[in-house]
Amino acid sequence: MTNESYENPAEHQYVVTLDDVTGDAMACTCPHHVHRSAFCKHMAAVENATDDGTLEAFPSEDNDDERISGPYTGYDKDGNVDHNYWKCEHCGAEATRKGALTDCC
Ligand SMILES: [Zn+2]
Ligand SMILES: [Zn+2]
């Protein structure tokens, strides 16, 4: 039993096999399913995909605005984890909601 963590999850995508007739997820190549026959999150994601052919089994942050980086972890004055925030790389503005940075500069 190894417990690996991956720097870049995009390089470790899993393949979910669907039943042609029912559309149910039958199998997945990830360890949860291979080793434990578990109904894993990948299978759930594929089954829940919309019928119009679009599938995003591994949702990622909306990265089409490259000014914004984050989320970062924010700390309160005592050094405790307090909030997440996003930062604009252009003007340095920070906000606890990513949407608040859409027109900061
Ligand atoms: Zn899986
Ligand atoms: Zn900005």
pLDDT confidence bin for 91, thresholds 50/70/90: very high
56 found inside a domain: no
For residue 94, the model assigns a pLDDT of: 92
Asked whether residue 85 is assigned to any structural domain, the reply reads: yes
Residue 61 belongs to a domain:
no
Q: What is d(CA 54, CA 88) in angstroms, rounded to the nearest whole number?
A: 30
Q: Determine the distance separating the centroid of ligand 2 and the alpha carbon of 40, expressed in angstroms.
A: 39
Per the structure, the count of domains in the chain is 2
Tokens of 36: 């434990």
Q: Which ligand is the nearest neighbour of the Cα of 40? A: 1
Quick check: is 63 in a domain? no
Distance 92 CA to ligand 2 centre (A): 6
Domain residues for the domain of 77 are: 68-101
Residue 55 lies in a domain: no
- Give distance in angstroms: CA of 57 to centre of ligand 1: 10
Query: Is the pLDDT score of 48 beyond 80?
Result: no
62 is a domain residue: no
The rounded mean pLDDT for the chain is 78
Residue 37 lies in a domain: yes
